[in-house]
Amino acid sequence: MSFEITKEYLEEIQQLIASKSNEHILNLLDEVHYADIAELVEELNFNDGLYLIKLLDSEKTSDVIAELDEDDREKILKELSAKEIAEEIDELDTDDAADIIAELPEEQKEEVISHLEDVEHAKEIVELLRYDDDTAGGLMAKELVKVNENWNVLTCVKEMRAQAEEVTRVHSIYVVDDNDILKGRLSLKDLLTTSTKTAIKDVFIKKVDSVTVNEEDEEVARIMQKYDLEAIPVVDEIGRLVGRITIDDIVDVIKEEAEKDYQMAAGLVEDVEADDTIWELTRARLPWLFLGLLGGVGAARIMGLFEGALEDNAILFMFTPLIAAMAGNVGVQSSAIIVQGLANDNLKGSISNRLLKEFSLALVNGAVLAVVLFAFTWIWQSDFNTALAISISLFAVIIVAGIIGTFIPLFLDKRGIDPAIATGPFITTSNDIFGILIYFWIAKLILGF
């Protein structure tokens, strides 16, 4: 299976839109998945995309709108009236509906909600809007299948049929008591294999994993991954079943989390995409570049302190970029390993053990690299002392850089700060400065200027 938007396909659609061949367009898109239509809308120019959204019926376009990039969605929704938006929202599951309403401008939110036709649906959406984006409450949907422990299998199947109308996919059947307190779950298998008169009480599984509404999204992701869950029920503070989170929403959380770490490591302070505006990209990139500039100025001033060595030891100054680069590279490597270990929750042992290990590792790597550099410098400059000074400095710098790269993320994590901030420009810049300082200091000891 694969649907690809070829150039020809795109041109055909554009022509059909230009000639307003609505029947033809509807036929063409009838069998196409909403995720593909969303891609199509993003490929088309804005007016053509809007034309498609307005042409297709809201059962289909609601999903298309939910699937669009946030930026594109914002632009499209601006062109729709509150009533039109409400029609789309009416078709969506509560979680997507709440997400889209949350993105609307404050003054429009209430208007859209007041236009929702299904009052029950509207109430649920309003409830979901109360929760923070990055909590279980912000992720969950209200659509679920639940049965009362006091029913029997027959009543249960009957009730489930009614509930299933509202629910696109049945993940689990949750069992509650008369107060809506989550008691357990019912397996489809048992339901299929038990006589209709059996009481639910006698067949349901008393154990069910759940999270509370205020649980952080990353913790929910961790739990669902660890226990291989495809859906998890969400309960309120007193244990009442209030919603459920499915794994597809968690996939997004996991992906965003991994991408965020990568972006931080690359020196981007905001979540940006290649298609964002130059202003957004500048806002994400400039802060770390300023830090880099500051670091570079610091390095220049440090080198200025050793200006007296310039005349006799010019060669030292040629090697500062090498020292700085190696300090940066080693620091980035060690911090990345720690940050990933922390993110995957598989760092065992104490901080001092980590540092000791990194120290041994840096000892090995540093020695190999220092020997190579020594050989090269000696051959190039035929000056034993200079070659010695440069290579010993490299050795020392690699060790210090490795230890800083290991320590800072562990330290930040202990302090409750996201350690990912310590990768990338932060570690490179600080290691540049430390590296150059150590380098000139050791060179001075050996060469005596």
Pick between residue 304 and residue 416 the one whose CB is nearest to a copy of itself. Answer: 304
Token pair in block for residue 225: 């991954």
The distance of closest approach from Cβ of residue 279 to a copy of itself in the complex, given in angstroms and rounded to an integer, is: 9
Which window, 22-30, 101-109, 334-342, 411-419, contacts a copy of itself (CB under 8 A)? Answer: 334-342
Pick between residue 18 and residue 251 the one whose CB is nearest to a copy of itself. Answer: 251
Query: Dihedrals φ, ψ of 277, to 5°?
Result: -70, 160
> Over the Cα atoms of the chain, what is R_g?
30
Amino acid (one-letter) located at 400: V
Q: How far apart are CA 40 and CA 45, in angstroms?
A: 10
Residues 45, 59, 290, 441: which binds a copy of itself (CB under 8 A)?
A: 290
Judged by CB under 8 A, the chain residues 382 through 411 that form the site for a copy of itself are: none
The distance of closest approach from Cβ of residue 83 to a copy of itself in the complex, given in angstroms and rounded to an integer, is: 28
Between vectors from CA 202 to CA 197 and to CA 207, what angle results, nearest 5°?
140
Bridge partners (DSSP) of residue 184 are 175
Token pair in block for residue 2: 């694969």
The answer to the question of residue 205 lying near a copy of itself (CB under 8 A) is no
**Short-list 264, 315, 306, CA closest to 287:** 264
Residues 85, 361, 388, 403: which binds a copy of itself (CB under 8 A)?
A: 361
Q: How close are the terminal C-alpha atoms of the chain, in Å?
A: 71
SS3 (DSSP) at 440: helix
Which window, 18-26, 49-57, 110-118, 188-196, contacts a copy of itself (CB under 8 A)? Answer: 188-196
How far is Cα of residue 203 from the mean position of the Cα atoms in its chain?
40
The distance of closest approach from Cβ of residue 78 to a copy of itself in the complex, given in angstroms and rounded to an integer, is: 21
Token pair in block for residue 54: 């307005």
User: Kind and range of the H or E element at 244?
Assistant: strand 241-246
Pick between residue 129 and residue 356 the one whose CB is nearest to a copy of itself. Answer: 356
Q: In which region does residue 379 sit, left (phi positive, over 0), alpha (psi from -120 to 50) or beta (all else)? A: alpha
Residues 8, 278, 352, 382: which binds a copy of itself (CB under 8 A)?
A: 278
Pick between residue 86 and residue 423 the one whose CB is nearest to a copy of itself. Answer: 423
Amino acid (one-letter) located at 225: Q
The distance of closest approach from Cβ of residue 132 to a copy of itself in the complex, given in angstroms and rounded to an integer, is: 20
The answer to the question of residue 69 lying near a copy of itself (CB under 8 A) is yes
The answer to the question of residue 346 lying near a copy of itself (CB under 8 A) is yes
Pick between residue 106 and residue 307 the one whose CB is nearest to a copy of itself. Answer: 307
- For residues 84 to 123, the per-residue mask of contacts with a copy of itself, x marking binding by CB under 8 A and - elsewhere, is ----------------------------------------
The answer to the question of residue 293 lying near a copy of itself (CB under 8 A) is yes
Cα→Cα distances 441→290, 318, 389, 434, 438, Å: 27, 16, 10, 11, 5
- For residues 19 to 48, the per-residue mask of contacts with a copy of itself, x marking binding by CB under 8 A and - elsewhere, is ------------x-x-x------xx-----
Residues 354, 386, 393, 399: which binds a copy of itself (CB under 8 A)?
A: 354
SS3 (DSSP) at 78: helix
For 95-240, where are the E strands, in sequence order?
145-148, 173-176, 182-186, 211-212, 231-235
The distance of closest approach from Cβ of residue 122 to a copy of itself in the complex, given in angstroms and rounded to an integer, is: 24
Residues 288, 374, 395, 440: which binds a copy of itself (CB under 8 A)?
A: 288
The distance of closest approach from Cβ of residue 210 to a copy of itself in the complex, given in angstroms and rounded to an integer, is: 6
Longest dimension (CA), the chain: 98
Residue partners of 16: CB distance under 8 A and separation at least 6? 24, 25, 28
Judged by CB under 8 A, the chain residues 231 through 270 that form the site for a copy of itself are: 246-248, 250-251, 254-255, 258-259, 261-263, 265-268
